[in-house]
Amino acid sequence: MGCMDLINSVEKIDQEYLVDSLQELARIPTDVPMGLDTFIEPDDPKLVYYVQEVLRPKIESLQVSSVVDIPRNQLLLEIGDGDSRPSLLVMVYTPTQHHNLMVNPFSGAIADGSKWGFNEPCLFGQGVGQNKSHQAIMLSVLKWIKDYDVKLAGKLLFAVNNEGRSSHACSNALLGAINGRPDFGILMTRTGKAISLGNRGRVDVNVEIEGKSSHSSVPHMGIVLSKGLIVFWTC
């Protein structure tokens, strides 16, 4: 399949399968705990069920490539002949933020999105924008490869990453299982359909600001906590 043929065939991705897959995934919780302790272990029963009983069967049903088990409840697929040099790793995450005050977070409902600036039907559910849409896209691309018997001279790797503790443990486990370092990597995350170059990660900083109480008759003797916060955020 030539380059232009490949581009044209991408437009034939099964849209119905994409939406159905997203709706199914949206109805299954993968959220981190509420409260201050928002970390979730990769072997948490919630994620084990989602990866092994939901994602794995859907991937295996497409019969594109063997699913390889990676430590920390993760999955890896390798597609392509590997005859040429280029190799691409595409990675999706499973943990999602908690739904907080969201009404019906796991409904997977399809409704009018004009209220939020989208003049078209939208699928609603906790984690849809964060990563479940990316998982559905991954499944749809795999189905497209199968449906159109797409042959890849290089190597395409799909990885299901279970990192929910803001560490590098899950990514290191995945990279350690790959034979050779991929030439390129794409982390599927919410960017407004833009391709962003760089590190998606974050830096966690613990800041302690102390105030000092004083009597109302001598307010100048006290230290106002809010002023310290303002100084910190504007530095």
Single-letter code of the amino acid located at 53? E
d(CA 175, CA 163): 13
Tens digit of each residue's pLDDT (9 = 90 or more) over 133-175: 999 999 999 999 999 998 888 999 999 999 999 888 999 999 9
Q: What domains are there in the chain, each with its CATH number?
A: 3-187 (3.40.630.10)
d(CA 31, CA 28): 9
**Tell me, what's the pLDDT at 141?**
95
Q: Strands across the sheet with 87-93, in order?
A: 67-70, 74-79, 155-161, 87-93, 184-187
Long-range contacts of 228-234 (CB under 8 A, 24+ apart): 232/207
**Tell me, what's the pLDDT at 98?**
87
The pTM (predicted TM-score) of the whole model is 0.81
In which element (H, E) is residue 231 found?
helix 225-234
Closest CA to 163 of 98, 92, 99, 59: 92
